[in-house]
Chains A and B, each alone.
Chain A
Amino acid sequence: MIGVIFGLRLGRWGVVGFSLAGLLLVFAQTAGFYQVAGTTPGARAAFGSAMATLAAQLVALFPPPLRPDTAGGYAEFRGFHPLAVLFAVWALASATGFARGDEERGVVEAALATGTSRIALIASRTVGFALAVTVASAAAAAGFLIGVASGHETAAVQGVVEEAALLAVIGVACYTLSLFVAQMAGPRLATAAAGALLLALFLDNSLSRAMSSLTAWRWLSPASWASPGRSC
């Protein structure tokens, strides 16, 4: 347990920063929806159609929105999906920072010298990141709920929880993969190698929407595991 807290303490600014980013980004997108989408069903349908046209041009990067004429669909497309990419970058930085940065600073050796096994240390840091990304995902969910409240509407809590859970799962999956690669690669190559893997997996998922030959390999990408059929 103390190892988890130690990991969280070392990465506390990451938790604060990405939680704030999640909260503000999703809140801004959700609140913005009520400003630009109109209030009548007709106006919102027209807005949704315009967004679907825009999203079709970005299909190789982001999945098309499911219901862009609603606050939930719009916030998912403009808030949660970009946030998933942001959390993947956080996971990459955090994992390689632990595997190589802390190793080079001697912090890993100091922790191992206490009689903690390397596996236990890796597990505690992974749990620590899982807690951190859960907090940040919850902040993003809170941003959505506040945004919806600002539009004088209500949202289904279960859907919001699922969306936040998806974000957390993607973050943890990216962290685990990055950590694995960073342990295998040399110190200089760790970040580049882990980044290349995550980028390849991201493109595997996103390009499979445009290239049918990649569809068979789509399951490899963490994004597709989290959201099959419409993954980010």
Chain B
Amino acid sequence: MLREMAVAAISTSQLTKDYGAGRGLFDLGLHVSQQEVFGYLGPNGSGKTTTIRLLMGMIRPTNGSAHVFGLDCVRDAVEVKRKVGYLPGDIPQFGSLRGDEVVAYLGGMRGGVDRRHVRAIAERFDLDLNRRFREYSSGNKQKLGILLAFMHRPELLILDEPTSGLDPLNQQEFYELLRETRAGGATIFLSSHVLSEVEHVCDRVGILRRGRLVKVAELGELTRIRVHHVEVEFAPGEEVPAERLRSAEGVEDLTVEGQRLRCTVHGNFDALLQAISGSRVIDLVSTEPSLEEFFLSFFGEPKPKALPS
């Protein structure tokens, strides 16, 4: 048992898939322990899906190796897939098949699928399995994809942008399902391009950029490095505490227009809330920047030039 636990759920060494022109994945060295929830974060085109397809043995690496529970992802691809629940970024198009037919065929090919478990997941996400796939909304197609990934209670879940297309309620339900699955002993590897999503559920986060892993951060560290755009509106006649905010830790790029104040907050909100605590605030909006903006802030890169009009 101890020996089994020592084997990493996922390990890669110098894993490379070169599509030419600087596109692909380069020298990826990754270690995901068993029963860990690992978030894989990166903007579109950064190599997340390529990594996942390499792990699933769907494509062959140009160089390097990848292992899942000690099994080689190329040589033992079939055995790897037996252990994995896979949600692809693009849900397969099953056309006129009904949801329950898709589950029956793919579940039958895999074997060991508990119908009660399938029904429970479908009910949980309010997914009608009697409808044809082509009649499903994009959210329902995503739910079916989630069901297919979870239906056989896999040891490892590899999920490519799992909440894309899900409404907020179903996203919360999905996060809950992830927590339960993890509590049941499974390892989860999920990709996303939304920072707050991986914060919800992950123990560690790998940040991928232009095909290279630039950082692996614990959740606490991620909270420290994250950024929010904040807009505060003070009550009419109320003095805007601009000076206090300028000196507050983590508050930057502060601008004031009348009673409205805008700034960027790095890390947590403690200093900002303390600075405005004596003032009457009538509105406070915090927005998460896109991952591209996060990278600009985190890696201190120059902003891309605007396209000529």
Contact = CB atoms under 8 A, between A and B. Distances in A.
Interface stretch (A29-37, A50-58, A61-69, A114-122): A114-122
Interface stretch (A15-23, A73-81, A103-111, A183-191): A103-111
B106 A111 contact: yes
A114 B81 CA distance: 6
A75 B58 CA distance: 48
A32 B91 CA distance: 51
Interface string B85-98: 01010111111010
A113 interface: yes
A10 B81 CA distance: 23
Interface residues of B, number: 23
A116 B81 CA distance: 8
Interface string B64-94: 0000000000000011011010101011111
Given A114-B81, A115-B78, A109 B92 contact: yes
Given A112-B81, A114-B81, A117-B78, A5 B90 contact: no
Interface in B79-124: 79, 81-82, 84, 86, 88, 90-95, 97, 101, 105-106, 108-110
Contact of B93 (A6, A105, A117): A105
The residue in A10, A109, A113, A115 that gathers the most chain B C-beta atoms within 10 A of its C-beta is A113
The residue in B93, B95, B148 that gathers the most chain A C-beta atoms within 10 A of its C-beta is B93
B146 interface: no
B81 A106 contact: no
A221 to B, nearest CB: 34
Given A9-B97, A106-B93, A115 B110 contact: yes
Contacts of B79: 115
B56 A113 contact: yes
Nearest to B78: A117
A114 B106 contact: yes
B92 A9 contact: no
Contact of B109 (A6, A9, A10, A105): A6
A157 interface: no
A107 B109 contact: no
A2 interface: yes
A82 interface: no
A115 to B, nearest CB: 4
A151 interface: no
The residue in B78, B84, B88 that gathers the most chain A C-beta atoms within 10 A of its C-beta is B78
Nearest to B56: A113
Contacts of B94: 105, 107, 110
Nearest to A121: B109
Nearest to A106: B92
B109 A109 contact: no
Contacts of B78: 115-117
Contact of B105 (A5, A112, A115, A117): A5
A106 B94 CA distance: 8
The residue in A5, A107, A111, A114 that gathers the most chain B C-beta atoms within 10 A of its C-beta is A114
Contacts of A2: 105, 108-109
Contacts of A110: 88, 92, 94, 106, 148
A113 B84 CA distance: 8
Interface in A79-117: 105-107, 109-117
B56 A107 contact: no
A128 to B, nearest CB: 12
Contacts of B81: 112-115
A107 B58 contact: no
Contacts of B110: 114-116
A109 B105 contact: no
A109 B106 contact: no
Interface in B16-61: 56, 58
16 contacts: A9-B101, A106-B90, A106-B91, A106-B92, A109-B92, A110-B88, A110-B94, A110-B106, A111-B109, A113-B56, A113-B84, A114-B81, A114-B106, A114-B110, A115-B110, A116-B78
Given A109-B58, A115-B78, 10 more contacts: A5-B105, A6-B105, A6-B108, A10-B97, A109-B88, A110-B88, A110-B92, A112-B81, A115-B79, A115-B110
**List of 9 A-B pairs having minimum Cβ-Cβ separation, nearest first:** A106-B92, A2-B108, A115-B82, A114-B110, A105-B93, A6-B105, A115-B81, A110-B92, A114-B109
